Structure 1
Amino acid sequence: MLKRVSLWLALSTVLSGLATAADYSEFTVPGLAKGQITHGDIAPLIHYYQQQDWLEVTELGRSVEQRPIYLIKIGQGERKVLAWSQMHGDEPTATAALFDLLAVLQAQQQTDSTQASPAWLDNISLYLIPMLNPDGAERNSRFNALGIDVNRDALALQTPEGQLLMQAAKQIKPHYGFNLHDQNRYHGAGDSKKPATISLLAPAYNEAREINPSRHAAMQLISAVKPMLDKALPQQLGRYDDEYSIRSFGDTFSAMGISTVLVESGGQYNDRFRQQARQLNLQLYLSWLAMISNGSYRDYDLSGYNSIPMNNSNGMKDLIISDVTLQRADGSGPLAKVDLAFTAGGNGRGPVVLNEIGDASIYGGYHSLDASGMVYSAGKAYPLTGPLNLSAERYVQLLAEGYSHFSGEARLLTNNSGLPVAINPRGVNTLWPQRQLSTTFLLTLEGAVQWAVINGRLIRLADASLVDAYSGN
């Protein structure tokens, strides 16, 4: 009984629109907080909902590799909403959020209190396509199994996935569309030097980017949720570029008279799997469904939409080391103080790259290190002339002695330190750091090594700890 009361209270808060992120933890579907969500992850959930009588689950069709693509329908109302996720296979945040939405609605079905029932269920028919591109999801790839970007297939319709989405839109004839994506975590929110954790857009329907009634309604929906997002994400809300793309589904649906809202889930500090963006997606869906049901979004003008800062596509770096001193070539003293900015490609899955030397003050950093007073040193190579069993204590000793990397045969080194090592790295033994190369070096203070940067990762010698700037975003 107490559990049911607790669930009802949490659900009432969510449905009232007054929820905080903590209120949504009750409805976070387990097993989906990760960087890659595949068809195998959602198949048990789909199977479960196929057994429920408060919604309809049908197989919309099959992908290139014959994985099923599902359509879920909820409600019988006149106002139709179509939402689709993971048309890019490596963008899973909204897929998790859609199943969280189903968990909220499932909780409503299981309570015996009519007060918990969301009013929009009577006025809306909601259609969900979770994971439009299951083949891309399997590969953790943007593209489908043919290497085609499904979101650039609205014109030619060369992919079965694109054909199925267009078929659904033409058969359902939705009034509203939620186009759900993830964006690169290096997008910043305007000039805030903060990540654009959520970016929104009402896509253009023509080259002139004019505003017709359907696009106007999409802009109003965004204006209506801006206060909530500003409170949850101070200076971390962005507006996606509205350049017209004739091949893209959002723009095409906008031209078809569907009020389409693009949601891009982005990076956040110390949130590797974008769980705050996931929770905010759920809040957005519930807010918009309520507003579409009662028409309250029409009370908002476009000022909120127009005041959202544009995305800054290169606004964030993974790591910024500031005020590093570079020595003169003859060793006679300081030459310059520079900032070093690093990124790890593939949204953190690729190698770390030094891609900015100089003034990095225009960027925000997920992590930063103030190196004031510290001097850049390429370090020395420790030759592997025989087997070396490397403990943390021995490794720190070598770093303190000025060795930044190892040379020789990698098989000779057994690394038991728990810390990264560099063996025969590129871009070392240079007097000054080199773009795209120098991710292994030392930082000294008054001649003593304080920090080691090994393959772009920070080791603090004082306590032999790894300060990993890439694992949390």
Structure 2
Amino acid sequence: MLKHVSLWLALSAVLSGLASAADYSKFTTPGLAKGQITHSDIAPLISYYQQQDWLETTELGRSVEQRPVYLLKIGNGERKVLAWSQMHGDEPTATAAIFDLLAIIEAQLQQQAATGEGGPAWLDKITLYLVPMLNPDGAERNSRYNALGIDVNRDALALQTPEGQLLMQAAKQIKPHYGFNLHDQNRYHAAGDNKKPATISLLAPAFNQAREINPSRHAAMQLISAVKPLLDKTIPEQLGRYDDEYSMRSFGDTFSSMGISTVLVEAGGNYNDPFRQLARQLNVQLYLRWLELISTSSYRDYDLSGYNSIPMNNSGGMKDLIIRQVNLPQANGTGVLARVDLAFNAGGNGRGSVTLHEIGDARIYGAYHHLDASGMDYSAGKAYALNEPLTLSRERYLQLLADGYSHFSGNAGHLTNNTDLPVALNPRGVNGPWPQRHASTTFLLSKDNKVQVAVINGRLIRLVDGSLIDPFAGN
């Protein structure tokens, strides 16, 4: 009994938008908190829901490589809502959120069956259609594109892809009043000039080149205005508005031109959140709130001031790491030539190669991680020649770094690294007196001629205790 009470309390919190992480975790679908979600991840979930009588699961059709694309139908209301996820195969956050939504709906229905109350209030007003993972071939490759190398979200007019054909076919058959186009955006978008990541960005896409506002687009803007207070409270200064430049080949703009009130949702980065679990949770909260607003038509009470006040996405406004106030030496090695910031990015959601993106004044950027290097001097460090086998213990490696060796040169096969710390083998761009854009991610930072921090392949090692700061693992 206590377990059921706890579940219903958590459910009430989630539905009210007041959920804690613990409340939300009770409805988080296991196995989807990762950077890549493929068809094999959702297949057992689809199989489970095919056996439930409160929703209909049908196969819309097949992808290029014959993976099934599914359509889930919930409710029998007059107002029709269509939502689709993972049109880009490497954008999985909303797919996870859709299955969390299903878990919440199922919990509501179970509560209703047990107590006679608590079911989804919108079920008799809305018919909800969900397409989780429109592009399963792209998901398999962790790629934006489908198996033909085509961006499905640029195929709304030519309909050259089976995936695009299936979505358009669904839209024309269902004739939805509302559409939710669910995506991930790169983590380098900032929310305006806030120097904070745009964890959620929203948009009511334009339906023509002039970006006019017709009744359907107006309704989409109102839906966004209505959820802005929730997001402002949950992620202060981390809500952005996506660029509304008209894209005639894109599905959101095309559906908008078809009179569908379409909302684009872009899940973005957050601090120490590599798999975007906060954005996942917020997606669910948005879906629940929009279903309530649509079922009651209460979104019509909102004007467009909320929508228009959302700051525009600032593309490139975030960096993964900024090392501030580094002293660069004079060419002759005596004195300080310049004091600069070093801004780094890493691709692949923090798991790709690190690049030195900018040198100079980085004050206009936000960053997921900062290091204040005031008073520290830059040096490329020395190369330790691998002329014979070398086994690195942690103590030996830290001593080499302290002695001014930043990297190893020669036969990489000679080096055995028995530490948990990164090493640089034959790195490029480390020979000059100053860092180089797109090259220098291995160097030393010293104070009073004593090495304080070793930056090795973009990872930071503090020599005082040998601790590793990995600024690219948690974005």
- Please give the root-mean-square deviation of Cα atoms over the aligned residues, in Å: 0.8
| TM-aligned CA distance change 1:403 to 1:18, over 3 Å | closer
Alignment of 1:373-452 (within 5 A): 373-452=375-454
2:8 corresponds to: 8
Q: Which amino acid aligns with 2:316?
A: N
Could you tell me how far apart the structure 2 residues matched to 1:131 and 1:143 are?
Answer: 13
Q: Secondary structure at the match of 2:375?
A: coil
Paired with 1:20 and 1:407, the residues of 2 have a C-alpha distance of: 51
Structure 1 contact 29–99 (Cα < 8 Å) conserved: yes
Per-residue CA distance 1:350-370 (angstroms, 9 max, x = gap): 210001000000000100100
Ranges in structure 2 where 5+ consecutive residues have no aligned partner: none
Residue pairs, 1:146-225, within 5 angstroms:
146-225=148-227
- Report the secondary structure of 1:326's partner residue: strand
Q: CA deviation at 1:106?
A: 1.0
Deviation at 1:7, TM superposition (A): 1.3
Q: What is the CA distance between 1:332 and its match in structure 2?
A: 2.6
Structure 1 residue 17: Cα displacement: 4.0
1:178-327 aligned at under 5 Å gives the runs: 178-327=180-329
TM-fit CA distance, 1:60: 0.5
Counterpart for residue 32 of structure 1: 32
2:317 and 2:365 in contact (8 A); partners too: yes
| 1:114 to partner: Cα distance | 3.1
Give aligned pairs, total.
Answer: 473
Structure 1 position 345, deviation (Å): 1.8
State whether structure 2 residue 362 is matched by structure 1 residue 365.
no
| Offset from partner CA, 1:254-289 (integer Å, 9 cap, x none) | 000000000000000000000000000000000000
Match of 1:381, SS state, is strand
1:94 is aligned to 2:94? yes
Asked whether the equivalents of residues 15 and 118 of structure 1 are also in contact (C-alpha less than 8 Å), the reply is no
What runs of 5+ residues in structure 1 fail to find an aligned partner? Answer: none
Distance 1:332 1:348 in 2: 36
Matched with 2:146 is: 144
Is 1:120–2:122 an aligned residue pair?
yes
Partner Cα separation in structure 1 for residue 19 and residue 385 of structure 2: 59
User: Please, what TM-score do these two structures have when normalized by structure 2?
Assistant: 0.99
Question: Retained in 2: the 8 A contact 1:62–1:68?
Answer: yes
Sequence identity, in percent? 80
Distance 1:16 1:364 in 2: 32
Whether the 8 Å contact between 2:109 and 2:120 is mirrored in structure 1 is: no
Q: Structure 1 CA distance, aligned partners of 2:405 and 2:351?
A: 27
Distance 1:380 1:440, change over 3 A: same
| 1:107 aligned partner | 107
CA distance in 1, matches of 2:299, 2:367: 35
Deviation track 1:424-471 (CA, whole Å, cap 9, x = no partner) reads: 100001101111111110000000000001111111111111100011
Asked if structure 2 preserves the Cα contact closer than 8 Å seen for 1:15 and 1:116, the reply is: no
The residue type equivalent to 2:299 in the other structure is Y
The answer to whether the Cα contact below 8 Å between 1:12 and 1:116 also exists between their aligned partners in 2 is no
- The answer (yes or no) to whether the contact 2:442–2:458 under 8 Å persists in 1 is yes
Q: Write the distance in 1 (CA, Å) between the matches of 2:409 and 2:332.
A: 26
Deviations 1:237-258 (A, max 9, x none): 0000000000000000000000
- Hey, what's the Cα distance between the residues in 1 that align with 2:404 and 2:145? 45
Look up the equivalent residue of 1:234 and give its one-letter code.
P
